[in-house]
Amino acid sequence: MRLFPSLRHVDKFRTVFDFGGREVAHWFPGHMAKGLKQMKASLKSVDCIVEIHDARIPLSGRNPLFQNTLDVRPHILVLNKMDLADLSNKQKILKKLERDGVKNVLFTDCLKQADNSIKKLVPTVLEILENKPRFNRDENIDYCMMVIGVPNVGKSSLINALRRTNLKKGRASRVGGEPGITKAVLTKIQVSERPKMYLLDTPGVLPPKIESVETGMKLALCGTILDHLVGEDIIADYLLYSLNKLRNFSYVEKYELQEPSDDIQLVLKRIAVKLGKTQRVKALTGVGNITVTIPNYTAAAYDFIRAFRKGDLGQVMLD
Ligand SMILES: Nc1nc2c(ncn2[C@@H]2O[C@H](COP(=O)(O)OP(=O)(O)OP(=O)(O)O)[C@@H](O)[C@H]2O)c(=O)[nH]1
């Protein structure tokens, strides 16, 4: 990591983020309630709930409705995208989750070709199910899991990774960089041969009521809410605030800034100039209309956010 001549000015950076009176209600599309209803209706054929969430926000942003309405089945929390998460406080996180009643946790990286944690999922689920009643499914020899989670956390990628690892088979579930790719509800997909195990893929369902704007912003930063609903500019500013708070200054080197900054306009301007993302606009001056070149702040914000999501700004823990 680059050393800066002085980081004293960093102590004056924001310690609290100003959300400017934003409300989160309009960030959550109505079709998600329908998704949850369909999931509930399919529960009778399910042995275990595999809840998948982003490992960079292990404690916040999970849908409380999952706990309340789907809690009738054994449950495992898969914290995916571990390759992007700073897990130096993993034990603390696990303890906190345990206090919240989450006993079975598995960290995964679905993009890695041969990830041991993916191999562990089926045996772990079998262990969880041991000696548990299977209700009206006792005569079935095959198992069925339901994979649930907020959008874009990697539900489809997990299914594909399981098929790749356990069955040496290709993709069954469509993967996308934008939240809301999985719309068709409840496709049943085989993920293991011995024992025969199936997974139901479900659409991402956001909580209808997010506990705070900050949690909403973390969800947005991790790509679970369509960017334009929240605003690229504020997501980028929250990203800068978070990186500075974590003393993660990797953006300085990446975008060739002179030193860390708490000023999003300045940072975006540098990013736009470095990436050649400028736009020509008409400006009215004392001598009439002229065309001037200005930084494209939206394009710069988008690049900054994307770099973070890809892991180009290092591993982070937002909780
Ligand atoms: N770095 C990293 N990226 C991942 C991982 N798993 C999934 N992704 C990426 O995350 C994005 C979303 O993955 P999906 O599998 O489509 O997520 P989903 O939860 O099915 O999405 P919805 O259909 O919107 O609910 C894709 O760009 C994936 O490549 C992982 O373990 N690490």
Tens digits of per-residue pLDDT, 75-88? 899 999 999 999 99
How many residues comprise the chain? Answer: 319
Beta carbon of 81 within 6 Å of any ligand 1 atom: yes
Count of Cβ atoms closer than 10 Å to residue 26 Cβ: 9
This prediction has a pTM of: 0.86
Residue 64 scores a pLDDT above 90 = no
Report, in angstroms and rounded to the nearest whole number, the Rg of the chain calculated over CA atoms: 22
Percent of the chain with pLDDT over 90: 39
The number of the ligand 1 atom at minimal distance from the alpha carbon of 177 is 27
The residue whose CA has the least distance to atom 26 of ligand 1 is: 177
Residue 261 scores a pLDDT above 60 = yes
**Separation of 249 CA from ligand 1 center, angstroms?**
26
Q: Strand, helix or coil at 61?
A: coil
Beta carbon of 216 within 6 Å of any ligand 1 atom: no
Residue 218 scores a pLDDT above 60 = yes
Beta carbon of 156 within 6 Å of any ligand 1 atom: yes
Predicted pLDDT of residue 245: 93
**Separation of 24 CA from ligand 1 center, angstroms?**
23
Beta carbon of 231 within 6 Å of any ligand 1 atom: no
CA distance 78 to 191: 16
Binding-site members for GTP are 80-83, 152-157, 204
Predicted pLDDT of residue 268: 95
The region of weakest confidence among 7-11, 268-272, 311-315 is 7-11
DSSP string across 64-110: HHHHHHHTTS-EEEEEE-GGGB--TTHHHHHHHHHHTT---EEE--S
Beta carbon of 182 within 6 Å of any ligand 1 atom: yes
Residue 173 scores a pLDDT above 60 = no
CA distance 250 to 256: 10
All structural domains of the chain, each given as residue ranges with its CATH number in brackets, are 8-20+225-310 (1.10.1580), 29-201 (3.40.50.300)
CB 203 within 8 A of CB 146: no
Top-confidence range, 127-136, 185-194, 256-265: 256-265
Residue 204 scores a pLDDT above 80 = no
The number of the ligand 1 atom at minimal distance from the alpha carbon of 112 is 31
Closest C-alpha among 121, 104, 109 to residue 192: 121
The residue whose CA has the least distance to atom 10 of ligand 1 is: 154
Beta carbon of 310 within 6 Å of any ligand 1 atom: no
The number of the ligand 1 atom at minimal distance from the alpha carbon of 152 is 21
Beta carbon of 152 within 6 Å of any ligand 1 atom: yes
Predicted pLDDT of residue 36: 72
Ligand 1, pocket-test mutation among 108, 152, 182, most atoms within 8 A of CB = 152
* pLDDT tens profile 8-33: 788 888 888 888 777 766 665 555 66
